[in-house]
Chain A
Amino acid sequence: MWTFLLTRVLQALFTLWVVSVLVFFAARLTGSPDLALLPPDALPEHRQAFQQAYGLDKPVLVQYWRWISRAVQGDLGQGIQHKIAVSELIGPRLVNSLKLATVAITLAVCLALPLGVVAAVQRGRLWDRIAMGIGLGGQSMPSFWLALMLVLVFAVWLRVLPATGMGTWKHFILPGVTMGWFISAGIMRLVRSSMLEVLDADFVKLARLKGLAERSVIWKHALLNACIPVVTFVGFMFGIIIASSITTETVFVWPGLGRLVFEALMARDFPVIQGVVLIWSTLIIVLNLCVDLTYGLLDPRVRLIRS
């Protein structure tokens, strides 16, 4: 058990290191930020001063070492565009993104769990078709387009919900639905297929034979077991949320991490890009690690095999 724990943690750290290398060097492959941030007619000595101020004139390996050794201590450097510490820049944006993600996940789970269960129970009938329709729709619509369509209908035509920004609870509805629908498609398919599997299992037959109410069989005995694969989906789901948050936040002008990284990319603001990617990857990798480590708690069968 301990060796398993140790190897998993070491693997996670290694992955994190590879991500840091990838992002650091990708961001430097071409183009220095002075191309994007200084006017085209800037004098060469101004360019040099700019590069010196941000340490861009040093060899790349030296730059990497300086960045990573400080990042480990929690100092992600200073943004080039906004001139404040990257961690200060990221902090409030991360909170905003997490607020939106919470709304989206809540919506997604509230929609996907019951629908997935009902679809599995009524396999092939009306509710199954409705659920699969909603799921397929969520999978096929690019989230940026769904976002625009929601803005078109509810903000431009009906004028009932705000199109951009963040403030009241109304601002959460459109971006929340956009991201929630997208995520719920995956969860619903997973719940449905794993419910179908579980409903065939012996313990469900036994529960029915015992004379338990059908409601209790499905929503308690079957669902709890069907949720195990859904939990492993959490890390993956977080990746999806990040992916869709970039486009969704851009459309809704949401002051979150997705928009921050997009603006930073356009301005070649290296410290901010690196910081955001590093934080996001850490979140995903830690989540996946937690899922792996707690998997045994949820499913005693896995524990037996490992020990």
Chain B
Amino acid sequence: MQITLRPPFGHVKLSLRRVAAAFPRLPKLSAAVILAVVLTAAGAGLLTGRVLPAANQIDLRFRYAPPWPLAGSSLAHLLGTDRLGRDLLSRMLVGGQNSLSVALMAIVFAAAVGTCLGLVAGYLGGWVDSLIMRCVDIMMSIPAILVALVFVVTIGASFAMVVATLALLLWAQYTRLVRGQVLSIKERDFVALAHVAGSSTRRILVVHIFPNLVNSVVVLATLQIGWGIVVESALSFLGAGVPPPAPTWGNLVAEGRDVLDQAWWIAVCPGLAIMLVVLSFNLFGDWVRDALDPTLRQL
């Protein structure tokens, strides 16, 4: 007799079906906003410099031009211009590209590292578990943004630095979540069977346990995107983000801060973009959670 051990991939397929069934409840407006922002951010390189002025193109004839329908504006600069006559819309598109890619890359790194550590901690237990969870506790009880600020300012702001710092702040939550789930999954029969059949620890973790917690990790990641964007923009606002002249939504708001009384649009528009995108990602994340794993309500 041959015993075939099928890893429980059925679960993943089932939840895809659940996604399809839940589609009518998809927050359509949020999904549309996310899609639009992701597409324009990805295509920012194609749009600016061709359809729109280049993001860093200085044009001193049009300094502080207001957004389009207002007096003194021009159709060439729909959202107005800044102190050097640079087009705000182009800068916002490129800024969105920077802000989104920082947040997304940080979350991918954090999820990868955090999940691996959580798997190891939960499955091996013992002193490895204690050590990893001690680090998690420490990460969760220090004033994260302050430590991030210290790191970025002292080591020097750069794209990679901001991504690394954000990832450092985020990984602990994945570890805690994954470890908790591994603790219950590893008691299930299919893990014991895999063990009896002679699977290595690595195989059990990767093939048998990991597919069962993909959903939770995806849910946590979607819920964190909004937070990632807000923290990235706060760092940029304080001058500790991706360094200028590269625009990000945060440093555009910071530029607008000094000229709030004469050129309000420079601060208002990028901030509105942050709010809209974060709001959409939050609503979308809530939906993903309800669709994939409603037991994660507490996240």
Contacts and interface: CB of A to CB of B under 8 A. Distances in A.
A114 interface: no
Contact of B142 (A19, A149, A156): A19
B267 A152 contact: yes
Contacts of A81: none
A247 B150 contact: no
Contacts of A280: 143, 146
B142 A144 contact: no
A241 to B, nearest CB: 10
Contact of A250 (B146, B230, B238): B238
Contacts of A152: 260, 264, 267-268
A56 to B, nearest CB: 14
B138 A136 contact: no
A156 B271 contact: no
Nearest to B267: A148
A-side binding surface: helix, strand, loop or mixed? helix
A156 B260 contact: yes
Interface in B263-286: 264, 267-268, 271, 274-276, 278-279, 282-283
Given A26-B154, A250-B238, A142 B271 contact: yes
B136 to A, nearest CB: 11
Contacts of B239: 266
A247 B238 contact: yes
Nearest to B240: A265
Interface stretch (A27-35, A57-65, A97-105, A118-126): A27-35
Contacts of A156: 260-261, 264
A139 B282 contact: yes
B153 A139 contact: no
B142 A284 contact: yes
Contacts of A14: 134, 138
A18 B138 contact: yes
B253 A148 contact: yes
B233 interface: yes
18 contacts: A14-B134, A15-B137, A15-B142, A26-B150, A27-B154, A140-B230, A142-B271, A142-B278, A144-B250, A148-B256, A149-B267, A243-B143, A250-B238, A261-B146, A261-B149, A265-B154, A284-B143, A285-B141
